[in-house]
Structure 1
Amino acid sequence: MATFSSVSKQHVLQAIAEHDDRGREEFLQLYGFAPSYEHTLVHEGRSYDARALLGLAHRFATGRLASSDEFDSGPEAAVAILRKRGFEVTEPAGVVRAAPVRAPRAPRAPRAPRTPVARPSAVREAPVLICPTCSMALPATGRCDSCD
Protein backbone atom coordinates (compact mmCIF):
# COMPACT_ATOMS: atom_id res chain seq x y z
CA MET A 1 0.00 0.00 0.00
CA ALA A 2 1.43 3.34 -1.02
CA THR A 3 1.41 6.37 1.24
CA PHE A 4 1.35 9.72 -0.44
CA SER A 5 2.42 12.03 2.39
CA SER A 6 5.82 12.56 0.78
CA VAL A 7 4.32 13.58 -2.59
CA SER A 8 4.58 17.35 -3.03
CA LYS A 9 3.16 19.71 -5.60
CA GLN A 10 6.56 19.74 -7.31
CA HIS A 11 6.44 15.95 -7.78
CA VAL A 12 3.03 16.24 -9.44
CA LEU A 13 4.34 19.01 -11.69
CA GLN A 14 7.23 16.72 -12.71
CA ALA A 15 4.72 14.00 -13.61
CA ILE A 16 2.71 16.52 -15.66
CA ALA A 17 5.87 17.56 -17.53
CA GLU A 18 6.69 13.94 -18.34
CA HIS A 19 3.10 13.33 -19.48
CA ASP A 20 3.36 16.34 -21.81
CA ASP A 21 6.71 15.15 -23.20
CA ARG A 22 5.58 11.58 -23.90
CA GLY A 23 1.93 12.07 -24.77
CA ARG A 24 -1.01 10.39 -23.05
CA GLU A 25 -0.94 6.96 -24.72
CA GLU A 26 2.82 6.42 -24.35
CA PHE A 27 2.74 7.75 -20.77
CA LEU A 28 -0.05 5.40 -19.68
CA GLN A 29 1.45 2.41 -21.46
CA LEU A 30 4.96 3.01 -20.11
CA TYR A 31 3.79 3.17 -16.48
CA GLY A 32 1.07 0.52 -16.76
CA PHE A 33 -2.01 2.66 -16.16
CA ALA A 34 -5.27 2.07 -18.01
CA PRO A 35 -6.96 5.14 -19.49
CA SER A 36 -9.44 6.55 -17.00
CA TYR A 37 -12.01 9.26 -17.45
CA GLU A 38 -13.38 9.18 -13.92
CA HIS A 39 -11.36 12.03 -12.42
CA THR A 40 -9.17 14.39 -14.37
CA LEU A 41 -6.62 16.83 -13.13
CA VAL A 42 -6.86 20.15 -14.97
CA HIS A 43 -3.63 22.15 -15.16
CA GLU A 44 -3.10 25.16 -17.42
CA GLY A 45 -6.11 24.20 -19.53
CA ARG A 46 -5.03 20.59 -20.15
CA SER A 47 -6.61 17.44 -18.69
CA TYR A 48 -4.68 14.55 -17.18
CA ASP A 49 -5.56 11.20 -15.60
CA ALA A 50 -5.43 11.95 -11.87
CA ARG A 51 -4.41 8.49 -10.63
CA ALA A 52 -1.68 7.99 -13.24
CA LEU A 53 -0.11 11.35 -12.40
CA LEU A 54 -0.23 10.65 -8.68
CA GLY A 55 1.30 7.20 -9.22
CA LEU A 56 4.27 8.71 -11.07
CA ALA A 57 4.54 11.60 -8.59
CA HIS A 58 4.86 8.93 -5.89
CA ARG A 59 7.83 7.53 -7.82
CA PHE A 60 9.48 10.93 -7.97
CA ALA A 61 8.97 11.31 -4.21
CA THR A 62 9.94 7.81 -3.05
CA GLY A 63 11.62 6.01 -5.92
CA ARG A 64 8.74 3.53 -6.28
CA LEU A 65 5.87 3.78 -8.76
CA ALA A 66 2.46 3.45 -7.10
CA SER A 67 0.15 1.30 -9.20
CA SER A 68 -3.52 2.15 -9.65
CA ASP A 69 -4.64 -0.63 -7.28
CA GLU A 70 -2.56 0.81 -4.41
CA PHE A 71 -4.84 3.76 -3.79
CA ASP A 72 -6.34 2.89 -0.42
CA SER A 73 -9.92 3.97 -1.05
CA GLY A 74 -10.27 4.19 -4.79
CA PRO A 75 -10.03 7.26 -6.97
CA GLU A 76 -11.41 9.52 -4.23
CA ALA A 77 -8.13 9.15 -2.34
CA ALA A 78 -6.15 10.40 -5.33
CA VAL A 79 -8.56 13.29 -5.78
CA ALA A 80 -8.24 14.33 -2.13
CA ILE A 81 -4.44 14.19 -2.23
CA LEU A 82 -4.20 16.23 -5.43
CA ARG A 83 -6.64 18.84 -4.14
CA LYS A 84 -4.62 19.18 -0.94
CA ARG A 85 -1.59 19.92 -3.12
CA GLY A 86 -3.50 22.77 -4.80
CA PHE A 87 -4.64 21.13 -8.04
CA GLU A 88 -8.06 21.28 -9.64
CA VAL A 89 -9.61 17.83 -10.10
CA THR A 90 -12.91 17.48 -11.93
CA GLU A 91 -15.59 14.92 -11.16
CA PRO A 92 -17.01 12.64 -13.86
CA ALA A 93 -19.93 14.12 -15.79
CA GLY A 94 -23.24 13.61 -14.03
CA VAL A 95 -21.75 12.86 -10.61
CA VAL A 96 -23.11 15.02 -7.84
CA ARG A 97 -21.46 14.69 -4.47
CA ALA A 98 -23.57 15.35 -1.43
CA ALA A 99 -22.14 17.38 1.38
CA PRO A 100 -20.95 15.25 4.28
CA VAL A 101 -23.65 14.67 6.86
CA ARG A 102 -22.72 14.95 10.47
CA ALA A 103 -24.59 13.06 13.11
CA PRO A 104 -26.32 15.30 15.62
CA ARG A 105 -24.67 15.48 18.98
CA ALA A 106 -26.43 14.59 22.16
CA PRO A 107 -27.06 17.59 24.38
CA ARG A 108 -24.54 17.98 27.14
CA ALA A 109 -25.53 18.03 30.75
CA PRO A 110 -24.72 21.33 32.43
CA ARG A 111 -21.58 21.27 34.48
CA ALA A 112 -21.58 21.93 38.17
CA PRO A 113 -19.72 25.06 39.12
CA ARG A 114 -16.17 24.44 40.16
CA THR A 115 -15.20 24.99 43.73
CA PRO A 116 -11.71 26.19 44.45
CA VAL A 117 -9.45 23.50 45.78
CA ALA A 118 -7.02 24.39 48.51
CA ARG A 119 -3.57 23.46 47.38
CA PRO A 120 -0.67 23.02 49.73
CA SER A 121 1.85 25.78 49.54
CA ALA A 122 5.20 24.94 48.05
CA VAL A 123 7.79 23.79 50.54
CA ARG A 124 10.96 25.74 50.26
CA GLU A 125 14.15 23.80 50.54
CA ALA A 126 17.16 25.30 52.14
CA PRO A 127 19.89 26.22 49.68
CA VAL A 128 22.75 23.76 49.39
CA LEU A 129 25.93 25.08 50.91
CA ILE A 130 29.13 24.61 48.93
CA CYS A 131 32.65 24.30 50.31
CA PRO A 132 34.64 27.33 49.09
CA THR A 133 37.85 25.25 48.86
CA CYS A 134 36.82 22.08 46.97
CA SER A 135 33.35 23.07 45.67
CA MET A 136 31.68 19.99 47.22
CA ALA A 137 28.26 20.14 48.88
CA LEU A 138 28.61 20.57 52.59
CA PRO A 139 26.92 18.13 54.99
CA ALA A 140 24.41 19.31 57.59
CA THR A 141 27.27 20.04 59.99
CA GLY A 142 28.50 22.82 57.70
CA ARG A 143 32.05 21.48 57.74
CA CYS A 144 33.64 19.90 54.69
CA ASP A 145 34.59 16.24 55.21
CA SER A 146 37.25 16.44 52.48
CA CYS A 147 38.99 19.64 53.51
CA ASP A 148 38.96 19.36 57.31
Structure 2
Amino acid sequence: MATFSSVTGQHVLQAIAEYDQRGGDAFLDVYGFGPTPGYALVHEGRTYDARALLAVAHRFATGRLATPEEFQSGGMDGVVTILRRRGFMVTEPAVALREAPGRASHTRTATPRATRTTRTTRSTAEVPPPICPTCSMTLPATGICDDCG
Protein backbone atom coordinates (compact mmCIF):
# COMPACT_ATOMS: atom_id res chain seq x y z
CA MET A 1 0.00 0.00 0.00
CA ALA A 2 1.43 3.35 -1.03
CA THR A 3 1.56 6.22 1.42
CA PHE A 4 1.88 9.64 -0.10
CA SER A 5 3.32 11.61 2.83
CA SER A 6 6.67 12.01 1.06
CA VAL A 7 5.10 13.46 -2.11
CA THR A 8 5.66 17.22 -2.32
CA GLY A 9 4.41 19.85 -4.72
CA GLN A 10 7.78 19.67 -6.49
CA HIS A 11 7.29 15.95 -7.18
CA VAL A 12 3.88 16.71 -8.68
CA LEU A 13 5.45 19.41 -10.87
CA GLN A 14 8.03 16.87 -12.06
CA ALA A 15 5.21 14.49 -12.99
CA ILE A 16 3.43 17.33 -14.84
CA ALA A 17 6.61 18.05 -16.82
CA GLU A 18 6.87 14.38 -17.82
CA TYR A 19 3.15 14.32 -18.73
CA ASP A 20 3.71 17.37 -20.98
CA GLN A 21 6.80 15.81 -22.55
CA ARG A 22 5.21 12.42 -23.32
CA GLY A 23 1.65 13.55 -24.01
CA GLY A 24 -1.38 12.40 -22.05
CA ASP A 25 -2.13 9.07 -23.74
CA ALA A 26 1.52 7.96 -23.81
CA PHE A 27 1.96 8.97 -20.16
CA LEU A 28 -1.01 6.83 -19.12
CA ASP A 29 0.15 3.90 -21.27
CA VAL A 30 3.73 3.95 -20.00
CA TYR A 31 2.60 3.76 -16.38
CA GLY A 32 -0.34 1.41 -16.91
CA PHE A 33 -3.16 3.78 -16.01
CA GLY A 34 -6.47 4.28 -17.72
CA PRO A 35 -8.11 7.70 -17.81
CA THR A 36 -9.97 8.83 -14.71
CA PRO A 37 -13.01 10.70 -16.09
CA GLY A 38 -14.14 13.74 -14.16
CA TYR A 39 -11.04 14.09 -11.98
CA ALA A 40 -8.46 16.44 -13.40
CA LEU A 41 -5.60 18.39 -11.90
CA VAL A 42 -5.61 21.88 -13.42
CA HIS A 43 -2.23 23.60 -13.71
CA GLU A 44 -1.48 26.72 -15.76
CA GLY A 45 -4.65 26.29 -17.80
CA ARG A 46 -3.98 22.65 -18.72
CA THR A 47 -5.66 19.54 -17.34
CA TYR A 48 -3.97 16.33 -16.26
CA ASP A 49 -5.17 12.93 -15.06
CA ALA A 50 -5.03 13.36 -11.27
CA ARG A 51 -4.57 9.71 -10.28
CA ALA A 52 -1.77 8.97 -12.76
CA LEU A 53 0.03 12.20 -11.83
CA LEU A 54 -0.04 11.33 -8.15
CA ALA A 55 1.30 7.83 -8.87
CA VAL A 56 4.23 9.23 -10.87
CA ALA A 57 4.85 11.94 -8.27
CA HIS A 58 5.09 9.08 -5.74
CA ARG A 59 7.75 7.52 -8.00
CA PHE A 60 9.73 10.76 -7.97
CA ALA A 61 9.42 10.94 -4.17
CA THR A 62 10.18 7.32 -3.28
CA GLY A 63 11.58 5.60 -6.35
CA ARG A 64 8.52 3.32 -6.57
CA LEU A 65 5.49 3.86 -8.77
CA ALA A 66 2.15 3.59 -6.99
CA THR A 67 0.08 1.09 -8.97
CA PRO A 68 -3.56 1.59 -10.00
CA GLU A 69 -4.60 -1.11 -7.51
CA GLU A 70 -3.15 0.89 -4.61
CA PHE A 71 -5.76 3.59 -5.17
CA GLN A 72 -8.70 1.23 -4.66
CA SER A 73 -8.92 1.59 -0.86
CA GLY A 74 -8.72 5.39 -0.66
CA GLY A 75 -10.52 6.03 -3.91
CA MET A 76 -10.39 9.33 -5.72
CA ASP A 77 -11.31 11.29 -2.59
CA GLY A 78 -7.87 10.49 -1.23
CA VAL A 79 -6.17 11.54 -4.46
CA VAL A 80 -8.08 14.83 -4.52
CA THR A 81 -7.27 15.54 -0.86
CA ILE A 82 -3.56 14.84 -1.27
CA LEU A 83 -3.18 16.99 -4.38
CA ARG A 84 -5.16 19.87 -2.86
CA ARG A 85 -3.01 19.75 0.28
CA ARG A 86 0.00 20.17 -2.01
CA GLY A 87 -1.54 23.38 -3.38
CA PHE A 88 -3.08 22.14 -6.64
CA MET A 89 -6.58 22.61 -7.99
CA VAL A 90 -8.44 19.37 -8.76
CA THR A 91 -11.84 19.20 -10.41
CA GLU A 92 -14.43 16.60 -9.49
CA PRO A 93 -17.41 15.25 -11.44
CA ALA A 94 -20.93 16.49 -10.79
CA VAL A 95 -22.35 15.18 -7.53
CA ALA A 96 -26.01 14.29 -7.12
CA LEU A 97 -27.60 16.08 -4.20
CA ARG A 98 -29.83 13.96 -1.99
CA GLU A 99 -33.40 15.13 -1.90
CA ALA A 100 -36.33 14.20 0.26
CA PRO A 101 -38.41 11.26 -1.04
CA GLY A 102 -40.73 12.26 -3.87
CA ARG A 103 -38.61 15.20 -5.02
CA ALA A 104 -36.52 15.31 -8.14
CA SER A 105 -32.78 15.26 -7.65
CA HIS A 106 -30.49 17.91 -9.03
CA THR A 107 -26.81 17.82 -9.83
CA ARG A 108 -24.12 20.28 -9.06
CA THR A 109 -20.48 20.63 -9.94
CA ALA A 110 -18.15 20.36 -7.00
CA THR A 111 -16.27 23.60 -6.57
CA PRO A 112 -12.54 23.03 -6.11
CA ARG A 113 -10.79 24.77 -3.29
CA ALA A 114 -8.80 27.85 -4.14
CA THR A 115 -5.23 27.23 -5.16
CA ARG A 116 -2.29 28.99 -3.69
CA THR A 117 -0.70 31.27 -6.24
CA THR A 118 2.05 32.62 -4.03
CA ARG A 119 4.16 30.88 -1.48
CA THR A 120 4.85 32.52 1.82
CA THR A 121 7.50 31.64 4.34
CA ARG A 122 6.07 30.49 7.64
CA SER A 123 7.84 30.60 10.94
CA THR A 124 8.39 27.31 12.72
CA ALA A 125 5.52 28.01 15.14
CA GLU A 126 3.01 28.36 12.28
CA VAL A 127 3.80 25.10 10.48
CA PRO A 128 1.03 22.54 11.07
CA PRO A 129 2.06 19.05 12.12
CA PRO A 130 2.49 16.54 9.27
CA ILE A 131 -0.61 14.46 8.58
CA CYS A 132 -0.80 10.94 7.12
CA PRO A 133 -2.53 11.29 3.73
CA THR A 134 -4.08 7.84 4.09
CA CYS A 135 -5.69 7.96 7.53
CA SER A 136 -5.39 11.69 8.40
CA MET A 137 -3.66 11.04 11.73
CA THR A 138 -0.80 13.24 12.93
CA LEU A 139 2.51 11.64 12.03
CA PRO A 140 5.09 10.86 14.74
CA ALA A 141 8.60 12.36 14.60
CA THR A 142 9.76 9.48 12.38
CA GLY A 143 7.39 10.69 9.64
CA ILE A 144 6.01 7.15 9.23
CA CYS A 145 2.40 6.53 10.19
CA ASP A 146 2.02 4.07 13.07
CA ASP A 147 -1.26 2.76 11.62
CA CYS A 148 -0.51 2.70 7.89
CA GLY A 149 3.24 2.05 7.94
- How does the TM-score come out when normalised to structure 2? 0.62
- The match for 1:80 is 81
Structure 1 CA distance for aligned equivalents of residues 39 and 89 of structure 2: 10
- Give the 5 Å matches for 1:31-110: 31-71=31-71, 72-94=73-95, 96=108
The structure 1 segments of at least 4 consecutive aligned residues displaced by more than 4 Å after TM superposition are: 94-97
Shift of the alpha carbon at 1:29?
0.2
Structure 2 equivalent of residue 15 of structure 1: 15
Aligned to 1:6, the other structure's residue is in SS state coil
* Residue-pair matches, total: 97
Please report the TM-score for the alignment, with normalisation by the length of structure 1: 0.62
Distance 2:85 2:6 in 1: 12
Kindly provide the amino acid, as one letter, of the partner of residue 88 in structure 2.
Answer: F
- Max radius of gyration: which structure? 1
Task: Report the Cα distance in structure 1 between the residues aligned to 2:90 and 2:23, rounded to whole angstroms.
Answer: 20
Structure 2 residues without counterparts, runs of 5 or longer: 97-107, 111-149
| 1:95-144 deviation per Cα after TM superposition (whole angstroms, max 9, x unaligned) | 546xxxxxxxxxxxxxxxxxxxxxxxxxxxxxxxxxxxxxxxxxxxxxxx
Q: Tell me how far 1:94 sits from its aligned partner.
A: 4.8
Q: CA deviation at 1:38?
A: 2.7
Q: Could you report, residue by residue, the CA deviation over 1:41-67 in whole angstroms, capped at 9, with x for unpaired residues? A: 000000001000000000000000001
Structure 1 gap ranges (5+): 98-148
Q: CA RMSD in A?
A: 1.3
CA distance in 1, matches of 2:74, 2:94: 21
Could you tell me the percent identity over the aligned residues? 65
